[in-house]
Amino acid sequence: MEDLRYREKLLCSRELHPEDSIIEVGEGIGCVRIGGRYTAGVPAVIAGPCSVESESQIIEIAEAVKAAGAAMLRGGAYKPRTSPYDFQGLEAEGLRMLLKAKAETGLPVVSEIVDAGNLDLFADVDVLQVGARNMQNYALLKALGRTDKPVLIKRGNAATYQEFLTAAEYVLSEGNPNVMLCERGIRTFETYTRNTLDISAIPVLKGIGHLPVLADPSHAGGRRELVSSLALAAAAAGADGLMIEVHNKPEEALSDGRQSVTPAEFAKLMSRLRRLKMDIEE
Ligand code: PEP
Ligand code: MN
């Protein structure tokens, strides 16, 4: 793999797998395919609140993002917060609410897992998210590699492309080929934005690797007013998917309200994305 300093050829590399990987999420009519021709120019959008806060909150948001065209619903139940005094998530109860929203809307669901000991609780969660803080939690990555569930790995905030890809390699090497990468901003000297969205990561990771690459403009910018611009930039750069935080009452959100867009703002972004797709095709 070009520029990656490993003697062994990596399973995540184009050398070993020239075709784009296509990850199937969910079953039957609600099945979403991510990667290759399925998402070329039309990113699959994962939308929802940072945290599941109540049954009515997650169901209301799920219905709104579905109506706007989201492909999947997100909602954190186990929240690895920077401070132990911040809201830590509703845990098993939060997952139950998220699964209720899945049953009501038919949207596949994505939620962060922080401990392999919780895998049983995630049996009906469609995509297991590994957060930026856990990108190098190799015990967790190996355990997820022993499942056959789609895994979405977020880039650590100081991880190089090599470190990011070799984190994915931990899952692949245990036998699970269903891995997606998500660029969510890295730490730079700039403090105005929460992180700096590294747009280069999208073409670089798709060039040297074959796994789908998504982008998360919400955690990158950290400000709701930046989400649309960053999402459109990532889509134009070839992102296979986008993860967008949406909240029905952002000012009351228990986590990440400042970067959460309202359902109306999300619907507007979805229509701008559809128009961008036409531009790419011309
Ligand atoms: C999240 O998706 O809510 C999250 C905690 O993201 P990250 O791991 O990228 O900080
Ligand atoms: Mn968040």
What is the per-residue pLDDT across 153-206, written as a single tens digit (0 to 9) for each?
A: 999 999 999 999 999 999 999 999 999 999 999 999 999 999 999 999 999 999
- Whether 29 shows a pLDDT value over 80: the answer reads no
Measure Cα distances from 76 to 1, 18, 55 in Å: 34, 34, 13
pLDDT bin (cut points 50, 70, 90) of residue 30 is: confident
CA of 7 to the centre of ligand 1 (A): 32
CA of 48 to the centre of ligand 2 (A): 10
- Whether 55 shows a pLDDT value over 80: the answer reads yes
pLDDT at residue 279, as a whole number: 72
- pTM confidence score: 0.97
- Is the shortest distance between the CB of 212 and ligand 1 below 6 Å? no
Ligand 1 atom with the shortest distance to the CA of 132: 8
**Which residues have C-beta under 5 Å from ligand 2, the single-atom ion?**
50, 256
Q: Are 129 and 95 in contact (CB under 8 A)?
A: no
**Tokens 């000297």 identify what position?**
189
- Is the shortest distance between the CB of 206 and ligand 1 below 6 Å? no
- Is the shortest distance between the CB of 132 and ligand 1 below 6 Å? yes
- Ligand with minimal distance to 184 CA: 1
pLDDT at residue 52, as a whole number: 98
3-state secondary structure the chain: CCCCCCCCCCCCECCCCCCCCCEEECCHHHCEEECHHHCCCCCEEEEECCECCCHHHHHHHHHHHHHHCCCEEECECCCCCCCCCCCCCCHHHHHHHHHHHHHHHCCCEEEECCCHHHHHHHCCCCEEEECHHHCCCHHHHHHHHCCCCCEEEECCCCCCHHHHHHHHHHHHHCCCCCEEEEECCECCCCCCCCCECCCCHHHHHHHHECCCEEECHHHHHCCHHHHHHHHHHHHHCCCCEEEEEECCCHHHCCCCHHHCECHHHHHHHHHHHHHHHHHHHC
CA of 50 to the centre of ligand 2 (A): 4
Measure Cα distances from 4 to 1, 54, 98, 131, 168 in Å: 6, 44, 39, 23, 14
- Whether 114 shows a pLDDT value over 60: the answer reads yes
CA distance 115 to 119: 8
CA distance 74 to 77: 10
- Is the shortest distance between the CB of 194 and ligand 1 below 6 Å? no
pLDDT digits (tens, 9 = 90+) for 62-98: 999 999 999 999 999 999 999 999 999 999 999 999 9
